[in-house]
């Protein structure tokens, strides 16, 4: 990992955006090293370090009631709105780059997020099931498609449907305005084998989503469907 030279630091100080990007590049390097450390020792030494930081550079919808932590109260199915995600989408919508605006338009259709952090709040039984089952489903699908090095593109979200015998399953029809992100894979002994997404990580997830979309679908005019990360 190369050090930032004094000249590079001087150049960065003239651009707040460049500073944020440089910090996020270093944070990604830290977590890449931590991923390897986990493989070797089954312990994380960077679990409390965010994957990315973001600057308050965009306005968010005025009708969204974010709390002091930048997250709304969970709605009936447990999904929340997150300020950092919404700000990234709002900023992308104002971009001069057409593919970036197109990504933002698609993302605006699914502003609600099912994410594991919310499980620490007082929730109803249905809210807990909807969050936990969808986030675990996202994790398993990601592992199946990409293995341990697949960093967790988010997927769809489905409502919980109860059967006559009291058991439950994910419904067939998607929750149209929400998506779930992968949760942690934890062993019975409590060891975190792979880390899922946290609210603090969502700026990085948004950037990865946009980068992947531009790479795979940015010039396409075909409908994107529900997958927020492009066709391929």
Shared domain for 38 and 67, answered yes or no, is no
- Domain assignment present for 97: yes
Is residue 14 domain-resident? Answer: yes
Q: How far does CA 84 lie from the centroid of its chain?
A: 10
pLDDT, position 219: 57
76, 120: one domain: yes
Provide the mean pLDDT of the chain: 81
DSSP letter for each residue of 112-149: EEE-GGGGGS---HHHHHHHHHHHHHHHHHHHHHHGGG
Are residues 207 and 186 both part of a single domain? yes
pLDDT tens, position by position, 107-120: 898 999 999 999 99
Burial class (CB in 10 A: 0-12, 13-18, 19+), 6: exposed
- Tokens coding 34: 């931590």
| Interval 217-226: pLDDT, tens | 655 555 544 4
Q: Hunting for tokens 């936990």 — which residue is that?
A: 132
Do 202 and 152 belong together in one domain?
yes
Last residue of a domain, one of 10, 25, 49: 49
Whether residue 42 sits in one domain with residue 69: no
* 117 and 175 inside one domain: yes
**180, part of any domain:** yes
> CA-CA distance, 23 to 4, in Å (whole number)?
11
The number of domains in the chain is 2
Q: Rounded to the nearest 10 degrees, how much is the dihedral formed by the CA atoms of 72, 87, 48, 186?
A: 60
228 domain residue, yes or no? no
Task: Report yes or no on 225 lying in a domain.
Answer: no
Q: What is the mean pLDDT of residues 37-45?
A: 88
Instruction: Please report which confidence band the pLDDT of residue 66 belongs to, taking 50, 70 and 90 as the band edges.
Output: very high
Q: Are residues 81 and 183 in the same domain?
A: yes
Instruction: Please check whether residue 232 lies inside any domain of the structure.
Output: no
How far apart, in whole angstroms, are the C-alpha atoms of residue 74 and residue 81? 8
Specify the pairing of strand 192-194 against strand 185-186: antiparallel
Residues 37 and 75 in one domain: no
The residue from 9, 24, 49 where one domain ends is 49
Same domain, 109 and 141: yes
What pLDDT is recorded for position 15? 56
- Tell me which residue range forms the domain holding 119: 61-217
> Is there a domain that residue 17 lies in?
yes
Q: Is there a domain that residue 105 lies in?
A: yes
114 and 79 part of one domain = yes
Same-domain check for residues 99 and 208: yes
Could you tell me if 69 and 130 lie in one domain? yes
For tokens 């592992």, name the residue.
143
The mean per-residue pLDDT over the stretch 78-85 comes to 96
């Amino acid at each position: 990992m190369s050090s930032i030279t004094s000249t590079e630091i001087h150049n960065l100080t003239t651009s707040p955006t460049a500073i944020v990007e440089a910090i996020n590049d270093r944070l990604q390097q830290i977590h890449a090293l931590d991923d390897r450390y986990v493989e070797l020792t089954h312990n994380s030494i960077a679990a409390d370090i965010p994957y990315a930081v973001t600057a308050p550079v965009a306005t968010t919808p005025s009708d969204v009631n974010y709390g002091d932590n930048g997250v709304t109260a969970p709605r009936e199915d447990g999904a929340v709105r997150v300020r950092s995600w919404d700000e990234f989408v709002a900023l992308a919508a104002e971009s001069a780059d057409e593919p970036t605006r197109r990504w933002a338009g698609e993302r605006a259709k699914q502003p609600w997020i099912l994410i594991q952090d919310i499980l620490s709040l007082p929730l109803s039984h249905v809210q807990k099931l909807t969050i936990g089952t969808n986030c675990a489903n996202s994790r398993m699908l990601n592992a199946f498609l990409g293995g341990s090095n697949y960093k967790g593109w988010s997927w769809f979200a489905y409502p919980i449907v109860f059967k006559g015998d009291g058991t439950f399953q994910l419904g067939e029809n998607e929750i149209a305005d929400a998506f779930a992100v992968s949760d942690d894979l934890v062993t019975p002994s409590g060891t975190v084998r792979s880390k899922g997404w946290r609210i603090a990580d969502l700026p990085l997830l948004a950037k990865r989503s946009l980068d992947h979309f531009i790479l795979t679908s940015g010039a396409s005019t075909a409908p994107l469907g529900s997958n927020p990360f492009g066709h391929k």
